[in-house]
Amino acid sequence: KPHAEYEVDPLGNLLVFKKGKNRAKNKVMLAAHIDEVGIIVCFAEKSGFLRFATVGGIDPKVLLGREIVFENGVKGVTGLAPVHLLKEDEKNKAPEISDLYIDIGANSDTEALNAVPLGTTGTFAQKLEEFGDGLVAGRALDDRIGAAIMLDLIRSETEYDLTLAFTVQEEVGARGAAAAAFSIAPDYAIVLEATTAADIIDVPEHKQVCKLKNGAAVSFMDNSTVYPMELYELALKVAEDNGIKAQPKAAVAGGNDSGSIHKSGKGVRTITLSVPCRYIHSQNCVSAVSDIYETRA
């Protein structure tokens, strides 16, 4: 408020109703998720080190030596057995989550669990900084970028009414979006996301998916949705007609809230627009600031 009306549903989705200058013929839902990948405490060793499971898809390799911040403010560092104590066959093996632990400086299991009880969640330490030629690095750009675009829309004057869903639990199966879409019952949905960009060294061009500084990546299919081809083509045409950068997401991979939204109720015609993001689901996601503005446009 005062920009729009809103409510929070039982799952924790924030549903926002933005009145435009005109009433819309169709109800359009915009969605961006506000959860991020992280960890959850499952066990404390007698020594005080914590064992954990991941919440969402995290490659164990990106967790090594990282600072973790728990929801209650306690900080810790992820650890692994020292390399000089590993057997030869273990040195060349990627670690598994079960091999890792979190050191919070506790001296016993009781001390550790008093500070961080079982079921406490945490994630990478906060970071956000601009660097290089117009790039930004930080945790959870997937999907702070989508949320930022929607917040900007809420603060702006819009031509038509909009319903915007800031969804929860996307990283564990697009669960919040299912409830949000059921409540809103839209005719069309636009999912605003970040998606993997593999435009880095040693990756063949046909596997790069999308590239930074080429605008929003428009999906034709992923692992959770087959998008209506007319919406895919319309998105690219609108971008071309208005001088906005856009590109196909040239891979059938991943998934997002559209997987739940498009099959809600009687069915919802859905499109996903994603900002390219390198090193996704790590402490240092990297995107181009220009792509965020192109997607907003």
The pLDDT tens digits for 214-256 are: 999 999 999 999 999 999 999 999 999 999 999 999 999 999 9
Higher pLDDT, 98 or 259: 259
Asked if residue 3 has pLDDT above 70, the reply is yes
- pLDDT the model gives residue 95: 80
Residue 95 is given by DSSP the state: P
Asked if residue 89 has pLDDT above 80, the reply is no
Asked if residue 94 has pLDDT above 80, the reply is no
- pLDDT the model gives residue 80: 79
- pLDDT the model gives residue 26: 94
Q: How many CB atoms lie within 10 A of CB 117?
A: 12
- pLDDT the model gives residue 90: 64
d(CA 194, CA 214): 14
Condensed to tens digits (0 to 9), the pLDDT of residues 191-216 reads 999 999 999 999 999 999 999 999 99
Would you put residue 242 in left (φ > 0), alpha (ψ -120 to 50) or beta?
Answer: alpha
Q: Give the mean model confidence (pLDDT) for residues 39-56.
A: 96
- Maximum alpha-carbon separation in the chain: 68
% of the chain beyond a pLDDT of 70: 96
- pLDDT the model gives residue 239: 97
Asked if residue 61 has pLDDT above 90, the reply is no
Is 170 designated active site?
Answer: yes
* Mean pLDDT over the full length of the chain: 94
Categorize the per-residue pLDDT at 65 as very low, low, confident or very high, splitting at 50, 70 and 90. confident
Condensed to tens digits (0 to 9), the pLDDT of residues 148-195 reads 999 999 999 999 999 999 999 999 999 999 999 999 999 999 999 999
Residues 6+ apart with CB under 8 A from 58: 37, 38, 39, 281
Asked if residue 87 has pLDDT above 70, the reply is no
Q: Look up the pTM and report it.
A: 0.92
Asked if residue 52 has pLDDT above 60, the reply is yes
Q: Which is catalytic among the residues 7, 111, 170, 230?
A: 170
